[in-house]
Amino acid sequence: MSSWPLSFYQAPDREEVDMFREYDRLITINQAARDGPVAPMPVIKSMFEVGLYMVIHGPGIPMTTHWDRSEGRQVGFLQFGERLIVNQVPMDLSGGRVRALVQRWDGYSGWISMYSTNSMQQFVASMEGEPPCDTVGDLLRPIIRSFRESPPLAFFGWAVDGPPPPPPCPPWRLNSRG
């Protein structure tokens, strides 16, 4: 468990922002590949449990009043690198996302997305475990390493076969000198 109090917030440094960009790049490649012959594998929802987490999504995460993203209004916002407590993780998905009821350091509660099954992207990561993880970098390094060592099948297929070919040139562009 983290040695810092929940209210402690330290803005991520340049290296951690670059790590998020690398993670986001890998997710983008996977999204492009998911339309290929092999679809991404869904997350095992049991990996998300109650406990202490940190936001690892660069743009941050909105907190809403309702489990269903389309029905709730925004009640708060969690910054990149901010700590939070996950109080409840329902087994049902909302719009392809694992959602959680969370509490911010100042007592505000709301629902957030923890993971997208469509893009296979994590928005938060658990700070509990060995060794303790106190920074965004501590949390993103193993996620990126895991993604590179055993990428989702769609990502792997795209990386091996190369990107899909560009669409054919429209006929009116072939004889444009004319």
Q: For 112-158, write each residue's pLDDT tens digit.
A: 999 988 777 889 998 887 677 788 888 888 888 877 776 655 444 43
Task: Check residue 34 and give its pLDDT.
Answer: 62
- In the predicted model, is pLDDT for residue 166 greater than 50? no
Residue 70 lies in a domain: yes
| Averaged pLDDT for residues 69-98 | 91
SS3 content of the chain, % helix, strand, coil (to 5): 30, 25, 50
Expressed as residue numbers, the domain containing 112 is 14-174
Q: With 50 as the cut, is the pLDDT of residue 177 above it?
A: no
- Tell me if 81 is assigned to some domain: yes
Residue 5 forms part of a structural domain: no
Q: What CATH number does the domain containing 152 carry?
A: 2.30.30.40
Question: How confident is residue 72, by pLDDT bands cut at 50, 70 and 90?
Answer: confident
Q: Model pTM?
A: 0.68
Would residue 3 count as lying in a domain? no
Cβ distance 1 to 52 under 8 Å?
yes
pLDDT of residue 113: 94
Instruction: Judge whether 76 lies within some domain.
Output: yes
pLDDT, one tens digit per residue, over 10-24 is: 777 888 888 888 888
> Is residue 50, in this structure, part of any structural domain at all?
yes
Residue 6 lies in a domain: no
Question: Closest by alpha carbon to 101, among 88, 82, 116?
Answer: 88
Task: Give pLDDT, residue 100.
Answer: 95
- Within-domain flag for 2: no
Q: Which residues contact 133 (CB under 8 A, 6 or more apart)?
A: 2, 54, 125, 126, 127, 139
Residue 34 DSSP symbol: T
Tally of domains within the chain = 1
| DSSP state for residue 169 in the 8-state scheme | P
- Quick one: which of 49, 76, 61, 73 has its CA closest to 113? 61
> Comparing 94 with 172, which gets the higher pLDDT?
94
